[in-house]
Amino acid sequence: MPERFEIRLSGSGGQGLILAGVILAEAAGIYEGKFVAQTQSYGPEARGGASKAEVVISDGEIDYPLAIKPDVLLCLNQKACEIYFQDLKPGGTLLVDATLVHDLPTLEVIAIPFTRIAREQVGREATANIVALAALVAITGVVSIDSLEKAVLARVPQGTEALNKKALDAGIAAAQDWLKEKRLPEI
């Protein structure tokens, strides 16, 4: 039974989570040759409140396509964080958008203000999904930054490549900042 690595991206309907999931799956599947299964919640649920996209990555064929116990959980809003935190694998990574998630369910959390970064540094709030995805990749190393970049540029609408590159860079930078800061107190 090959090892699985499971990522859940959660938030509300309009935050571009499915696109982020697809990009991550393509980065792993197409650009790194892994097996991947990507799913999402459909329906009214997906139009507001808590919705989610999942990516399962493995070296072997993937049987059950949904996340069993996510290794990584990204939450872009408060509601999603409340609902999905309990599913996180013990010791798994919780990443939240500090702009929108204020009540944290644990101290073991990486809180980065993705939305604010998107708005202020990238100049377009709608790129928060890419900022967050970049940070997630930078922190977890689930795929290489290079694969991620390829996947992002192949998926986003023509003409928005530069903007998304900027979002990627901002996300990576934020992650590195966090990693540094985080390590500091620990040392």
Partner 1 sequence: MAEVTKLIHKYLRHEKKFPHVWCPGCGNGIILGALIRAIDRTGFTKDEIVLVSGIGCSGRMSVYVDFNTLHTTHGRALTFATGVKLANPKLQVIVVMGDGDATAIGGNHFIHAARRNLNLTAIIINNSTYGMTGGQYSPTTPYGALAATAPYGHIEHPFAIAELAVTAGAAWVGRGTTYHANLLDKLIEAAILKRGFAVVEVITHCHTLFGRKNVLGGPVEMMQWQKEAAVRLEKAKTMTPEELAGKFTIGVLTDRDLPIYTQEYRKIREAAEAAMIGKGETQ
Partner 2 sequence: MPDSGKNGRTLLLQGNEAMVAGALAAGCRFFAGYPITPATEISEAMSYQLPAVGGTFIQMEDEIAGLGAVIGASLAGVKAMTATSGPGFSLMQENLGFACVAEVPCVIVNVMRGGPSTGLPTHVAQGDVQQARWGTHGDHAIIVLSVSTTRECFDLTVKAFNLSEKYRTPVIILSDEVVAHTREKITLPPAAEVEVVERRRPAMPPEWYIPYEDTPQGVPPMGIFGDGYRYHVTGLIHDVRGFPTERPDEIVPFLERLYRKINQNFFEIQMVDEYLAEDAEILIIAYGSVARSAKRAVDDARSQGLKAGLIKLITLWPFPRRLLEPHLKLVRAVLVPELNLGQISREVKRINQGLTRVVTLNRVDGYLITPEELVERLGKL
d(CA 187, CA 185): 5
Contacts of partner 2 in 134-153 (CB under 8 A): none
Nearest of 183, 51, 166 to residue 117 by alpha carbon: 166
Residue 47 interacting with partner 1 (CB under 8 A):
yes
- The minimum distance between CB 3 and partner 1, in angstroms, equals 32
Neighbour-count burial for 20-43, b at 16+ CB within 10 Å, e otherwise: bbbbbbbbbbebbebebbbbebee
Contacts of partner 2 in 28-67 (CB under 8 A): 29-30, 34-40, 42-45, 62-66
Question: Any idea which residue has 């010791």 for tokens?
Answer: 91
Structural contact between residues 121 and 134, judged by C-beta atoms closer than 8 angstroms: no
Residue 161 interacting with partner 1 (CB under 8 A):
no
Q: Which is nearer to partner 1, 66 or 154 (CB)?
A: 154
Candidate list 15, 17, 44, 87; residue touching partner 1; CB under 8 A: 44
Distance of CA 10 to the CA centre of its chain: 8
Residue 80 interacting with partner 2 (CB under 8 A):
no
Contacts of partner 2 in 16-35 (CB under 8 A): 22, 25-26, 29-30, 34-35
Q: Using CB distances below 5 to 8 A depending on partner kind, what does residue 47 bind out of partner 2, partner 1, none?
A: partner 1
- The minimum distance between CB 17 and partner 1, in angstroms, equals 17
- The minimum distance between CB 13 and partner 1, in angstroms, equals 10
Q: Which is nearer to partner 2, 87 or 169 (CB)?
A: 87
Residue 151 burial (C-beta neighbours within 10 Å; 0-12, 13-18, 19+): buried
Q: Which is nearer to partner 1, 14 or 123 (CB)?
A: 14
Structural contact between residues 175 and 134, judged by C-beta atoms closer than 8 angstroms: yes
3-state secondary structure of 19: helix
- The minimum distance between CB 7 and partner 2, in angstroms, equals 13
